[in-house]
């Protein structure tokens, strides 16, 4: 007895609403389809369908069993589709969202290289640090910086990072260098508005305690370019993930501050809906980002 064949026959009967329609869809005789369902009921020791001259209806056991049949059929179809897809170049559309800070710090270049390698994959990139409902928004993957909140989403660590305070040497010469986090209250702080820490910059004391400074300044923006350019032009002190400033720190255009009070380490993560049947193209993108971001700080 082929239980999968019996389950498929039963499912088609339920979906079409009659043995006749199911037989036509399956290319079998009505009597054979009816016998298949009877064999399934005998094997399970339960009535799955109530039969009348006018219609078929599911029993309670039949309804429960049908739900299981649907899951199994979907898994089988997904396995088949995945195997067929593995023999061809990945294709299709991926909608993703990520903070602009990641794009301007180097991840944008990584995405361009990804498309050069996989030209049949269409990327729709939404530059935003806001937490979206991925399912409702039709988003396949979100890249986030920072500790993750509890959610029903799956996640994969892509790289480690640390938030840091930076300023241009010219700003420090003019206004002085803060010696402790509380000194930031006497400085013009440039607030990156797309970050979860825009209302308070976190630091770690010598005892390991995490403390927050509610900084203020004359510029708040979700445009990472504007924040960085303002710092480069000595307009204030900025705070953000180290990969955002790495290039300018290396060139001496920005200087890290309060390093002994560095904030707790965090990470860059990929979030995606909890779905066993994650499309192959999305898995490929996640793995590609993990390979090229880890240890590279987006370079």
> Taking Cα atoms as reference points, which of 114, 122, 162, 160 lies closest to residue 287?
114
Write the CA distances from 30 to 11, 27, 37, integer angstroms: 15, 9, 11
pLDDT for 102: 84
Give the model's confidence band at 161: pLDDT under 50 very low, under 70 low, under 90 confident, else very high. confident
The predicted structure's pLDDT at residue 6 = 92
Neighbour count for residue 53 (Cβ, 10 Å): 4
Q: Three-state DSSP class for 175? A: helix
Residue 267 has pLDDT above 90, yes or no: no
Measured CA to CA, the distance from residue 203 to residue 199 in angstroms comes to 13
Pick from 144, 117, 139, 145: nearest CA to 279: 139
Structure tokens at 196: 């979860």
Residue with the larger pLDDT of the pair 100 and 142: 142
**What domains, with CATH codes, occur in the chain?**
3-80 (1.10.10.10), 92-158+266-292 (3.40.190.10), 163-261 (3.40.190.10)
Q: Which helix (H) or strand (E) holds 140?
A: none
Alpha helices in 176-236 (DSSP H): 224-232
Read off the pLDDT of each residue in 54-71 and give the average, rounded to a whole number.
89
- Share the mean pLDDT of the chain: 86
Q: What is the arithmetic mean of pLDDT over 88-113?
A: 86
Indicate the pTM of the whole model.
0.62
Cα–Cα dist 231/192, whole Å: 12
pLDDT-based confidence at 298, cuts 50/70/90? very low
Region 20-46: what's the mean pLDDT?
92
What letters, b where the CB count within 10 A reaches 16 and e where it falls short, cover 233-252?
eebbbbbbbbbbbbbbeeee
Rank 69-78, 90-99, 178-187 by mean pLDDT and report only the highest: 178-187
In whole angstroms, what is the distance from residue 155 CA to residue 176 CA?
Answer: 42
Q: Is pLDDT above 50 for 265?
A: yes
Instruction: Judge whether residue 159 has pLDDT over 70.
Output: yes
Q: Kindly give the pairing relationship between strand 201-204 and strand 121-127.
A: unpaired
| Residues 216-230, mean pLDDT to the nearest whole number | 89
User: Span 73-93, mean pLDDT?
Assistant: 75
């Amino acid at each position: 007895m082929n239980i999968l064949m019996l389950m498929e026959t039963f499912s088609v009967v339920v979906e079409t609403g009659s043995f006749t329609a199911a037989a036509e869809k399956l290319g079998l005789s009505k009597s054979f389809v009816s016998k298949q369902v009877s064999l399934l009921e005998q094997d399970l020791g339960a009535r799955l369908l109530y039969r009348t001259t006018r219609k078929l209806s599911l029993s309670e056991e039949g309804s429960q069993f049908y739900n299981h049949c649907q899951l199994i059929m979907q898994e089988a179809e997904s396995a088949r589709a995945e195997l067929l897809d593995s023999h061809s170049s990945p294709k299709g559309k991926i909608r993703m969202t990520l903070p602009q800070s990641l794009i301007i710090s180097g991840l944008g270049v990584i995405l361009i290289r990804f498309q050069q390698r996989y030209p049949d994959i269409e990327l729709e990139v939404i530059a935003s640090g806001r937490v979206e409902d991925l399912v409702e928004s039709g988003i396949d993957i979100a890249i986030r910086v920072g500790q993750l909140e509890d959610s029903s989403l799956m996640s994969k660590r892509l790289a480690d990072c640390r938030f840091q305070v930076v300023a241009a040497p010219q700003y420090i010469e003019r206004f002085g260098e803060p010696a402790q986090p509380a000194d930031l209250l006497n400085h013009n702080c440039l607030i990156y508005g797309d970050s979860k820490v825009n209302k308070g910059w976190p630091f770690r004391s010598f005892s390991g305690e995490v403390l927050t400074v509610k900084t203020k300044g004359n510029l708040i923006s979700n445009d990472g370019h504007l924040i960085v350019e303002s710092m480069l032009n000595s307009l204030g002190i900025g705070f953000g993930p180290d990969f955002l400033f790495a290039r300018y720190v290396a060139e001496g255009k920005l200087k890290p501050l309060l390093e002994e009070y560095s904030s707790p380490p965090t990470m860059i993560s990929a979030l995606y809906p909890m779905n066993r049947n994650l499309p192959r193209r999305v898995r490929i993108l996640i793995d590609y980002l993990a390979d090229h971001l880890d240890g590279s700080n987006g370079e």
